[in-house]
Structure 1
């Protein structure tokens, strides 16, 4: 059995009414560690474990690190997660609950990632948070589940950080013969590395991340994420932090499910009816997120 679970696919009546079309939610927030990351990370960890890995090392102050820690505990493999100084105490607490060793290094994910590479020794496997074909293959399984439910969407809406979810969903769409289903790729304005890359025609490094949606905070999107925008219909959209936070509160009110602002970004696109006006059934990947509390979300909202 894989480490991830099949997640519910539900029609959201409140969102369908406001968007003027059926809106379906793939509830990846219900994965055991709180986000879709477990699909790809679990697949990668199981693969490396089968190859004899004795220790997993990751660099993530959020959901990818939590997924590695969960997978390692389930597989009986020790885990070290290197997190940047900006990582919340809540996130570090969750990592330790999964028995991971937590190392704090650097002011950004990039610096934490560089340090993580220096820790690798014989028998260790590095689990990248977003840029690895093993992850994409694992993430694609959520589209397999949608296909098995017999619900072909007319468009898929998802959030983009480093691009692992985007790359995995496109892989899933294509392997199910849904090459004609476009992806609405949503970022917050302060963490828009894919948007910048699509505009420039190449990956570019953002000067910094200014969004509260820190789980989207990759300053440079993965090369393969940009490449898949040339192989599949992908439309880039930007929303504000305030819109993402409002969408988090709305999902909590409508469906009793708390997610991070990074997930709220995708949900916020539905507040722009023109963005989905050309489509019938719209599928939103509710990617989740375990590190933000309701108090944090409301504090960020007050500050916007």
Structure 2
């Protein structure tokens, strides 16, 4: 699917806008650690660098995008914003809106992560629950925007969310110009399209691979077929990347900036979370472990290479973390 460098002109993103967005983002989200983890690398058979996007007030990379969106909205006289979220985007918009005196409503599915919903409310946003998954929440968010005149933030479709996420790519290339492989969690596409665009533009020798759960494969199926493919259900613990209806404009960007997309199993995702805990001492949510899962499933592909993966969030409930990560350790007597 990947085209030549000249095809980047067809992508919605632009380097000058991405660089300019850095000035709009609260510094608490910027210049995050990129740590080479030798114990994890030895266990996986490759050099492994972890780009840690969890050490901020919303515990995920999403604040980069919502800061960019909220700054532009405030400048344009917006007073109310609404978004649909599985949790991380909602926390980030609540944070960014609160900083700027904006009224924020977050719509989530009734099945959404309870920890994330509490955090959204704690950060000052109004929470509305509807339906069974993120697609139901998106429909209500659009209705609220139309009826109340609020600004609708649609993650990944709203270009500023991609531009904010793309600042991660600027830091990756700046800190490691010899970048080899970047593994990026793939959901709606803001992170993958933003990072993919920057790396393709500034470090064309490097590969950018999107990683998605096999239980929520809509964007991967779409990328492979070159057209939008919608799915009927979501069956994954990685709620942060779980969607059924890819956005055509985002898919068009991904077709030009990603070298490949891969699907990983739930068992591999949990194993990735355990490895990050055991070898790096890090607590992450399932979406953040997708890159490790990809290496676990194809170790020969990454053997001896310099691999970077973006740890995109750490909003995981204690009970879930215990079930997925700690209990398996206990069963083997660790």
TM-score of the two chains, using structure 2 as the length reference: 0.84
Q: Report the counterpart of residue 126 of structure 1 in structure 2.
A: 152
Q: Report the counterpart of residue 209 of structure 2 in structure 1.
A: 184
Query: For residues 124-179 of structure 1, what are the alpha-carbon distances to aligned partners after superposition, in whole Å with 9 as ceiling and x for unaligned?
Result: 3211233221111111111111222244311110111111111111122134x223
Contact 2:177–2:203 at 8 Å: present in 1 too? no
- Taking the aligned partners of 1:152 and 1:283, their CA distance within structure 2 comes to 11
- Kindly indicate whether residue 332 of structure 2 is the aligned counterpart of residue 293 of structure 1: no
Which one of the candidate residues 259, 263, 281 is aligned to 1:234? 259
SS class of match (1:29): coil
Q: Which segment is superposed worse, 246-255 or 5-14? A: 246-255
Displacement of 1:227 after TM fit?
A: 2.0
Query: For residues 54-113 of structure 1, what are the alpha-carbon distances to aligned partners after superposition, in whole Å with 9 as ceiling and x for unaligned?
Result: 011111131111110111112221211011111132222111110111111222211111
- Taking the aligned partners of 1:30 and 1:8, their CA distance within structure 2 comes to 9
- Taking the aligned partners of 1:214 and 1:174, their CA distance within structure 2 comes to 28
- Taking the aligned partners of 2:80 and 2:258, their CA distance within structure 1 comes to 39
Which one of the candidate residues 79, 96, 107 is aligned to 2:121? 96
Contact 1:258–1:294 at 8 Å: present in 2 too? no
Contact 2:193–2:257 at 8 Å: present in 1 too? no
Query: For residues 241-292 of structure 1, what are the alpha-carbon distances to aligned partners after superposition, in whole Å with 9 as ceiling and x for unaligned?
Result: 1111121122122222211111112221222312324x732111111141x2
Q: Which runs of 4+ in 1 moved over 6 A?
A: none
Contact 2:86–2:239 at 8 Å: present in 1 too? no
Q: What runs of 5+ residues in structure 2 fail to find an aligned partner?
A: 1-22, 329-334
Which one of the candidate residues 276, 279, 291 is aligned to 2:302? 276
Contact 2:49–2:307 at 8 Å: present in 1 too? yes
- Taking the aligned partners of 2:272 and 2:137, their CA distance within structure 1 comes to 30
Q: Report the counterpart of residue 117 of structure 1 in structure 2.
A: 142
Contact 1:252–1:258 at 8 Å: present in 2 too? yes
Displacement of 1:233 after TM fit?
A: 4.4
Task: Provide the alpha-carbon RMSD of the alignment.
Answer: 2.0
- Kindly indicate whether residue 88 of structure 2 is the aligned counterpart of residue 63 of structure 1: yes
Q: Which segment is superposed worse, 93-102 or 266-275? A: 266-275
TM-score of the two chains, using structure 1 as the length reference: 0.91
Q: Report the counterpart of residue 147 of structure 1 in structure 2.
A: 173
Contact 1:15–1:270 at 8 Å: present in 2 too? no
Q: What runs of 5+ residues in structure 1 fail to find an aligned partner?
A: none
Q: Report the counterpart of residue 165 of structure 1 in structure 2.
A: 191
- Taking the aligned partners of 1:245 and 1:210, their CA distance within structure 2 comes to 14
Q: How many residues align?
A: 300
- Taking the aligned partners of 2:114 and 2:52, their CA distance within structure 1 comes to 26
SS class of match (1:111): helix
Contact 2:84–2:90 at 8 Å: present in 1 too? yes
